[in-house]
Structure 1
């Protein structure tokens, strides 16, 4: 065997090992390949390192909602604002080169197969985990680019490196085969942070939905329903505290990290909260001043748009109806907050709502309007709203303050919506409505959509339901693209041809809906924008690669 050195991230290992463990055997920074693949604990460490690369690096805090109509981006949020505005350069890498992660997965699969030095059951589970992570990397890329270069084994310097792209269908077939292989060998239960069968089924429902394999979506969710998961009766439990995420009966797989390895600045909270507090950052005449115990330190990048707020339905006369803010123009704003979807107050901080110990007022003369900070508009809301979802508001944090953090990666609410969409595409409206109603009623507290409703009504309310249920879970952009492709649409109106809205109310609190002065002109060119461009530098290096349509 050719001897190489393998570096294993101590950070990753620290997520799974206590103070006593296999790493005390020799120096902790490098190990020979022979060491790793002859020691079960070190082999596990190598796979845990892939977890860090793939789960944390590619599925946690990705902020793809910033590309959509859900978000009014802060001025300095270049990535989100540029994608919203269609300012996409073929010289940039939007995620094409993730082949380092693929190589790690391939290495683990190769070295653990027919490995006599490691217990067969341990090796089998590690191979299944590596295959599922390989599928996760390829899916992350496939949504962005379509067909990919499929590297299925460990390449050597003697192998041909200039591979051509497989078709999108071939790419998704390979991803789904990896998931199926993983399902066969993953355990029913696993320690927190490791995959089990339900994780793979949940991922299969997401992958199959994106490519239109609807029977596979339904079959995968059928399997999850046989297992011990249930919708969390309180939606915010899954997002607004570490303990809630890690103990929710709805969460199928979550990422978590302890405060020894994580700071407030590394979490979603740091980018979602106003940067303002009593003193030089708040006008003396702002009403009210913040509670003296609240000091809001953050570098915010995103604010809820009025388009998102309009998606939270009203409960009226035993049915759920949509009322857009323009219908309340000139009326007292309190009328906009009454009798809404339960998730609204759990997800959004609106004018005159309490956050932490303070009352937030987003109107002119209040404490959170973009004119409230005498020094700068930068840290203040650009839409008249702030996110509550993902905020641990019962705790105070400073930028480098150690904090434990958890995010649900796969959960039952999402897979039920996947199943609803699959039934909808197959034309089975009663079943589609049945599964859409699950999150709508339990999380939203809304009346059911009658199962005899029209196909048109199902799609209208399904798309609204998915928008509010999955906000800031990196779903919206991919759903809009998926719907456009499934419906052979010639445009994505949610992402094109207008500017996002917010509230700009005077202190009397009468509704005034405006184009946010901080938003951009939304632009989504079809069909060009269904995929990102392959980086120009990669095509220059590999003449076998073809550019995506419209980007030449």
Structure 2
């Protein structure tokens, strides 16, 4: 989507709310009716702008299903294996097995149908012949497409958490049976797919004013189909009826083919890949690749409102006077930071070192690309002694004096725009994550999880390193929902599920070579190809609310029991020796108790809360394994 057009989206909602308030101030309340909203296309479109976000959770400061939190349960990026989170985020229970066993909690997320009612009201009005005549058929069809897109997004968001969900295909009244029946998993996904197929036939081709277009419907459909197929299989593994999943994978592939045929989007060149996420002026222009994003308008929200801006989730506090005298003395003029500094920052999310090493491949001695710990470079130059990884005699003979020269050279190009590492730049500062360095978490006078690189790495993706941000600064930011690269990878997964490795490699190579600068795959198959695909998808989509759900699909493919990537125990901090000759993995300095990964099979779906099933037995049976 052309992001320069979407800044008005939420602003239009706020404007409409303001105008409604003026009507209330000046006229009797009974004049504020549905007819007021649907009296002309502009007011109706303002209503639709609110609808298709679906999405915005006004109970949580405008957080959306596109954001890191991914809904009321935080079952998205925050609980994937990518990131350490602070205790305040309340995600610890979803990294082990505690919260999902509580079938009495989290009532509102399941038993809340306000978004669906808003959409159904819109569909009623847009199917009214009088509205179609007043607005013209082309405008009405596009709005209907937006409504079906929004409804598909709502159902996908609910289905990812709960599997089966009540299908509400009309606006309910007090005379309807309100003890709704819960649909099964297949029925829910089939309904979601049908909504997006309708949306694709109705939406306009060209993006306009922040609205989803045909391409957005195809992109979302490609993911709904592969995720739905996985969960229909999950139902089968738990005693459900046997279903041929081939049509779902074929639909995913066909959706991407239709998206490509629209001809509006292309992969962003490698040299500007990072600007899609880190440069607001560029991203709000005309990126080649972004199909749909949520933009919070400028000059409304402060940086401290991390539910909207999210910038504050990534950045630590750092300025010279926070550091100990011994650390400052290591730098010219006792000034470790000579670029921008940050006097405020929350840093509630930071990269997990294990995942960094597995996700961002290094170009190896034989010209292939591998995970760093599995590389020929590692085997040749690193000796493991106890818990320490040390440069060996061969490294010394070949002139390698610092382990970071070896570890961080010739990585996947996305690494450099996604991760801040030892010796890199961050807010125009050279940052040292090693012991005694300006970003080591124990280099500060008063230790705090908001200071330094608490895992040995920081996120750069999604951060405009253009100024010294303050909590009170008013700004806007955006969350990317759908990109062309994501759709390509969806189709690659579908091809692999169908056993067509050649087509899968072709699609994986598009992002791997264009964005990552890695050598193309040639003949990889089986488990090797699956591992590469999972790593490639994470390198491409890290922090875009994808990883956790991709891991769930992978777990189902392997029998719906354990998921090794979510069952590795305690997260460890990467700690590089002051002299750069070695590194080791040590206990996290903060929040270790909420960053201990122990996956159990209950987490494939969340339960319908018991208090709800007590009120309405039609929601039973509960999800498998509860």
TM-score normalised according to structure 1 size: 0.91
Distance across 1 between alignment mates of 2:433 and 2:21: 58
The DSSP-based 3-state class of the residue aligned with 1:41 is helix
Match of 1:536 in 2: 610
Structure 2 partner of 1:319: 368
Which structure is higher in helix share?
2
Task: Tell me which moved more, 37-46 or 415-424.
Answer: 37-46
CA–CA distance in 2 between the matches of 1:96 and 1:20?
28
SS of the equivalent of 1:72 reads strand
Q: What is the aligned partner in structure 1 of residue 509 from structure 2?
A: 437
Q: 1:282 aligns with which of 323, 329, 347?
A: 323
Which shows bigger deviation, 268-277 or 430-439? Answer: 268-277
State the partner residue of 1:41: 42
1:410-436 superposed Cα distances (whole Å, 9 cap, x missing partner): 111111111111111111111100000
1:8 equivalent in structure 2: none
SS of corresponding position for 2:480:
strand
* Alignment of 1:270 onto 2:312: yes
In terms of mean alpha carbon deviation, does 11-20 or 176-185 score higher?
Answer: 11-20
Match of 1:162? 179
Aligned 8 A contact 2:106 2:609 in 1: yes
**Aligned partner (choices 501, 524, 529) of residue 599 of structure 2:** 524
Bigger shift: residues 196-205 or 403-412: 403-412
1:76 equivalent in alignment to 2:103:
no
Residue 209 of structure 1 pairs with residue 226 of structure 2: yes
Query: How high is the TM-score relative to the length of structure 2?
Result: 0.81
Show the counterpart of 2:344: 297
Any idea what SS the aligned residue of 2:325 has?
coil
> Which residue does 1:58 correspond to in 2?
65
Q: Secondary structure at the match of 2:548?
A: helix
1:187-246 Cα distance to aligned partner (Å, 9 max, x none): 001314101100100010010111221101110100111212111013212111113323
- Correspondent of 1:386 among 433, 447, 458: 458
Partner of 2:258: 223
Q: 1:534 to 1:453 in 2, by over 3 A?
A: same
Q: CA separation in 2, counterparts of 1:18 and 1:68?
A: 33
- Contact 1:294/1:357, CA 8 A, preserved across alignment: no
Which string of whole-angstrom CA distances, capped at 9 and with x for unpartnered residues, describes residues 78-119 of structure 1? Answer: 22x221122213233283244111111111111221241431
- Aligned partner of residue 260 in structure 1, secondary structure: coil
Task: Give the whole-Å Cα distance in 1 for the aligned partners of 2:16 and 2:77.
Answer: 41
- 1:49 partner SS: helix
Mapping of 1:7-406 within 5 angstroms? 15-16=11-12, 23=19, 27=23, 31-54=32-55, 57-62=64-69, 64-79=76-91, 81-88=92-99, 89-93=102-106, 95-117=109-131, 118-119=134-135, 120-212=137-229, 213-226=248-261, 227-233=263-269, 234-246=272-284, 247-265=286-304, 266-279=308-321, 281-286=322-327, 287-288=330-331, 289-291=336-338, 293-310=340-357, 311-316=359-364, 317-324=366-373, 328=382, 329-331=389-391, 332-380=403-451, 381-406=453-478
Conserved? CA contact 2:316–2:342, under 8 Å: no
Secondary structure of 1:544 counterpart: helix
Look up the SS of the partner of 1:502 in the other structure.
Answer: strand
**1:233-273 Cα distance to aligned partner (Å, 9 max, x none):** 13212111113323210111122122122332331210001
* Runs of 5+ consecutive residues of structure 1 not aligned to the other structure: 1-10
* Equivalent in the alignment of 2:494: 422
Find the aligned partners of 1:22 and 1:491 in 2 and give their Cα distance: 50
Which segments of 5 or more consecutive residues in structure 2 lack a partner in the other structure?
1-6, 57-62, 71-75, 230-247, 383-388, 392-402
**8 Å contact from structure 1 (residues 205, 217) kept in 2:** yes
| RMSD (Å), alpha carbons | 2.5
Cα 1:13–1:449 shift into 2, 3 Å: closer
Residue 501 of structure 1 aligns with which residue?
572
Query: How far apart in 2 are the matches of 1:262 and 1:373?
Result: 30
Shift of 1:303: 0.9
Deviations 1:33-54 (A, max 9, x none): 2222233222222212223442
| Superimposed CA distance per residue, residues 349-397 of structure 1 (whole angstroms, 9 cap, x where no aligned partner) | 0112111121222222222222123223221332110000000012332
CA contact (8 A) 1:467 1:476 kept: yes
Equivalent runs, 1:400-479 vs 2, <5 Å: 400-450=472-522, 452-479=523-550
Aligned residues: 537
Q: Residues 339 and 13 of structure 1: is their aligned pair in 2 closer, same or farther, counting only changes over 3 Å?
A: closer
Give secondary structure in 2 for the equivalent of 1:432.
Answer: helix
Indicate the larger mover: 137-146 or 536-545. Answer: 536-545
